[in-house]
Structure 1
Amino acid sequence: MTPPTKSQDRFTEILDRLSEKSVADHYNPYTHFAWPDSLPDDAYWMSPSLLSIAGTEFENELTEQQKMALSKWESINFYSMNVHGIRELLNEVIDRVHTRGFEAASEFFHHFIGEENEHMWFFAEFCLRYGGKLYSTLRLEGESEKDPDIANLLVFSRILLFEELVDHFNTTMANDELLHETIREINRMHHRDESRHIAFGRELVSMLFDRVRPALSDEQLAEIEAYLKGYVAMILDSFCSPVVYRDAGLGDIVGLRGKVVNHPGRLAAAKRAVRKPMSFFVKQGIFSDDTIPAI
């Protein structure tokens, strides 16, 4: 990979600032969080507006206790998605640290790797303590792109899209007084770290796209857009899980996932969840519009 065309000085300045912020904000997650023996079942574990049924008729048809049970298992599903997503994306970053073309970014990569490893730990800790398990997750076929510059763009675009979607959930739950303080603090601390990762990701994706754009055909650009939008759609669809509905005691509602997944209310909520990253990708010219395909 040859160096991107944008100002390397500006990029280096941003990286230095973010690295300094990582050092200043450092905390020990293994001692920071208070882990109560249990969390109350008669309370929300996820903000009601983030539940998969938000905006659908099931918001009014389910009892408060049913919605609280759903919030418990959808929170376990959300944190499980984080564990699996972080693990896969960490592997991609580790493959690139101290490699040609990423000399300037490698110091920040070390902060990124350390912080994401800690995030993976405390999300898994939450799931295992309070749910007794991690849910499995869907996986999108990895890009088989032979051009290393395009492969780098796809990898870091996926990281950015994932982080920005997760951050929408984090900021909502961190500020939700309905939730237990342990839940709010996990989301609060994750958001604090992710704000740096997102700032870095936006700069890097912009630079990587500037590097490859002149050589891309319209067909290649469309393929990149389709691949990344498919990734977004896969993550959003993973929030509507029949296994989660079963664990929440809603398994006797026939065809619940089918009724929820393509419901206009849920689709509107999903679009709000990815509004910021979709707007960024459209502004950069990577996406032609902000539509999300159905899976």
Structure 2
Amino acid sequence: MCPPNIPPARAVTATADDTEFRTLLDRLSDKATADYYNPFTTFDWPASIPTDELWMSPELLSVHGTELMDELSPTQLQALSRWESVNFYSLNVHGIRELLIEVTRRVHTTGFELPSEFFHHFIGEENDHMWFFATFCLKYAGKIYPDKSLKLPEPPRDPDVENFLVFARILIFEQIVDHYNVQLAADPRLHPTVRHINRLHHQDESRHIAFGCRLVHLLWKRLLDRGLDEAARHELRSYLGRYLTTGIESFYNPAVYRDAGLPDGFALRRRLLTDPARQAAHAKVLHKTTGFLHRIGVLDAHH
């Protein structure tokens, strides 16, 4: 969780009084070293995971809280939980690929001298995460769902704006995923392998989120210090608002509903996305992210 009281900062690069960021980076790098594990030897992958049990907590399913949830048989619920879990890990594979590209482009570049050492931990850990999520999908489902996410139009902008939006997107993605990781890791109804990968991912992501909150705030401060007019602020808010929406909507996959044996997946998706119970669930998933973005002044009262 992003700390509620973040002291003001001036830039990402090292400055005489920016000891707080350096201290955070040193602490997170030390923790990353202490927590290091080899993913290729950490997992004892079972030959299969039983299909007559839950693969995802029912409370996290896209139908939870709706009338459809009560209409599903236990067998249908198990099937939906299986394919929604595979969709969740598939989303992680695609999301991690994108963030790895963006972070790798910035390591040891001007403006990112200070965090580059931590970037190396970040890149290595995210590569490990992509591997174990992909392994789960391929080993137990025989596929990774393709990336169907809507690519948002990229408004023309300068490097400072680009950097801010890149790390804001990464933070949003990580916080959405972590909401699921925490609950899945703690759910005794789930297979030990499911709990294990979510527990390990949360362990690493807690560091990445602490880093991301600090970096996003620094980059936002840089934009404000440089002078950001209201039109530009509105454009950034609108862009991030659309990104939050598309991130949540990616959990409603018609291919999942088809694989789970539910008819007319596209109509089901539309029905679920407008259900008041799901709107409340979305707010819960996004609570930490929207709270942080409001707190630092990126989002206003209308978002």
Flag whether TM exceeds 0.5 (same fold). yes
Among candidates 251, 254, 272, match of residue 263 of structure 2: 251
Q: Is this contact kept in 2: 1:5–1:207, CA < 8 A?
A: no
The 8 Å contact of residues 12 and 114 in structure 2, kept in 1 or not, is answered as no
Worse-superposed segment, 251-260 or 200-209: 251-260
Q: Which residue of 2 aligns with 1:198?
A: 209
Q: What is the aligned-residue identity percentage? A: 52
CA drift at 1:255: 2.2
For the 8 Å contact 1:6–1:210, the answer to whether it is kept is no
For 1:177, the equivalent position in structure 2 comes to 188
Following the alignment from structure 2 to structure 1, what is the Cα–Cα distance between the partners of residues 17 and 55?
44
- Other structure's SS at 1:23 match: helix
The answer to whether structure 1 residue 241 and structure 2 residue 253 are counterparts is yes
Q: CA deviation at 1:254?
A: 8.2
- Which residue of structure 1 aligns with residue 30 of structure 2? 20
Distance change in 2, residues 1:162/1:5 (3 Å): farther
Q: What residue number does 1:279 align with?
A: 291
Cα separation, 1, equivalents of 2:105 and 2:66: 42
| Aligned counterpart for 2:159 among listed residues 148, 151, 157 | 148
Once the two structures are TM-superposed, the CA of residue 63 in structure 1 deviates from its matched residue by 0.9
| Aligned counterparts, 1:115-134, within 5 A | 115-134=125-144
Aligned-partner Cα distance in 2 for 1:17–1:241 = 39
Native 8 Å contact 1:163 1:194 kept in 2? yes
Q: Quick one: structure 1 residues 283 and 290, their matched pair in 2 at CA, closer, same or farther if it must change by over 3 Å?
A: farther
- Cα distance in 1 for partners of 2:167, 2:262 equals 37
Is structure 2 residue 123 aligned with structure 1 residue 113? yes
Q: What is aligned with 1:220?
A: 232
* CA positional deviation for 1:250: 0.6
Distance 1:79-1:3 versus aligned 2 partners, 3 A rule: same
CA contact (8 A) 1:152 1:208 kept: yes
Residues of 2 paired with 1:6 and 1:91: CA distance? 31
Q: 1:184 to 1:219 in 2, by over 3 A?
A: same
Matched to 1:110, the amino acid is H
Q: Is this contact kept in 1: 2:97–2:130, CA < 8 A?
A: yes
Tell me if the contact between 1:140 and 1:231 (Cα under 8 Å) persists in the aligned partners: no
Cα offset, 1:8, TM superposition: 1.9
Structure 1 unpaired stretches of 5+? none
Q: How many pairs are equivalent?
A: 291
- Is the alpha carbon distance of 1:238 and 1:2 closer, same or farther for their aligned partners in structure 2, counting shifts above 3 Å? closer
Question: How far has the Cα of 1:139 moved from its partner?
Answer: 3.9
8 Å Cα contact 2:13/2:114 also seen in 1: no
Contact 1:47 1:179 in 2 (8 A): yes
Higher deviation after alignment, 232-241 or 90-99: 232-241
Match of 1:162 in 2: 173
- The CA deviation at 1:55 is 1.2
Offset at 1:253?
Answer: 7.2
- Unaligned stretches of 5+ residues in structure 2: 1-10
Residue of structure 1 in register with 2:275 after alignment: 263
Residue of structure 1 in register with 2:101 after alignment = 91
CA distance change for structure 1 residues 183 and 126 in 2, over 3 Å: closer, same or farther?
same
Query: Per-residue displacement from partner, 1:129-154 (whole Å, max 9, x unpaired)?
Result: 01110111214236354311111000
Taking the aligned partners of 1:170 and 1:6, their CA distance within structure 2 comes to: 38
